Amino acid sequence: MVEAYPWQTALWQQLAGRSQHAHAYLLHGPRGIGKRSLAERLMARLLCQRPQGADACQQCKSCLLLKAGSHPDHFLLEPEEADKPIKVDQVRELVTFVVQTAQQGGRKVVLIEPVEAMNVNASNALLKSLEEPSGDTVLLLVSHQPSRLLATIKSRCQQIACPQPTVAQSQTWLAEALVACDAEQRDVLLTLASGSPLAALALHEDNVLDQRALVVEGVKKLLKQQQSPSQLADAWNAISLLRLFDWFFEWTHLILRYQLTQDESGLGLADMRKVVQYLGQKSPQAGVLQAQNWVLEQRQKVMAKANLNRALLLEALLAQWAQLPGSR
Give the pLDDT confidence of 104-149 residue by residue, as tens digits: 888 999 999 999 999 889 999 999 888 877 778 999 999 999 999 9
CATH topology of domain 6-161: Rossmann fold (3.40.50)
List own/partner pairs for 33-36 with CB under 8 A and 24 or more apart. 33/5, 33/7, 33/162, 33/163, 33/164, 33/165, 33/196, 33/197, 33/198, 34/3, 34/5, 34/7, 34/8, 34/162, 34/198, 35/113, 35/142, 35/143, 35/144, 35/162, 36/113, 36/142
Supply the DSSP string of 138-186, one letter for each residue.
EEEEEES-GGGS-HHHHTTSEEEEPPPPPHHHHHHHHHHH-TTS-HHHH
- Quote the DSSP letter at residue 118: B
| Average confidence score pLDDT of the chain | 93
pLDDT score, position 274: 97
pLDDT digits (tens, 9 = 90+) for 222-275: 999 999 999 999 999 999 999 999 999 999 999 999 999 999 999 999 999 999
**Dihedral sign from CA coordinates of 94, 96, 100, 104:** negative
Name which of 164, 249, 238 is nearest 206 in CA terms: 238
At residue 26, the 3 state secondary structure works out as strand
Beta-carbon contacts of residue 283 (< 8 Å; ≥ 6 apart): 255, 324, 325, 326, 328
Read off the pTM.
Answer: 0.86
325 to each of 9, 58, 223, how far by Cα in Å?
A: 51, 62, 8
The CATH number of domain 224-323 is 2.60.40: no
pLDDT score, position 1: 67
Does pLDDT of 327 surpass 70? no
Residue 307: pLDDT band by 50, 70, 90 thresholds? confident
130 to each of 228, 241, 323, how far by Cα in Å?
A: 54, 36, 53
Beta-carbon contacts of residue 248 (< 8 Å; ≥ 6 apart): 291, 295, 317, 321
Does pLDDT of 328 surpass 60? no
Instruction: Spell out a b/e string for 249-277, using b for 16 or more CB atoms within 10 Å of the CB, else e.
Output: bbbbebbbbbbeeeeeeebbbebbbebbb
Give burial (CB, 10 Å; 0-12/13-18/19+) of 118.
buried
pLDDT digits (tens, 9 = 90+) for 194-210: 999 999 999 999 999 99
318 to each of 155, 193, 220, 234, how far by Cα in Å?
A: 45, 24, 11, 12
pLDDT digits (tens, 9 = 90+) for 22-62: 999 999 999 999 999 999 999 999 999 999 888 999 999 99
pLDDT score, position 287: 94
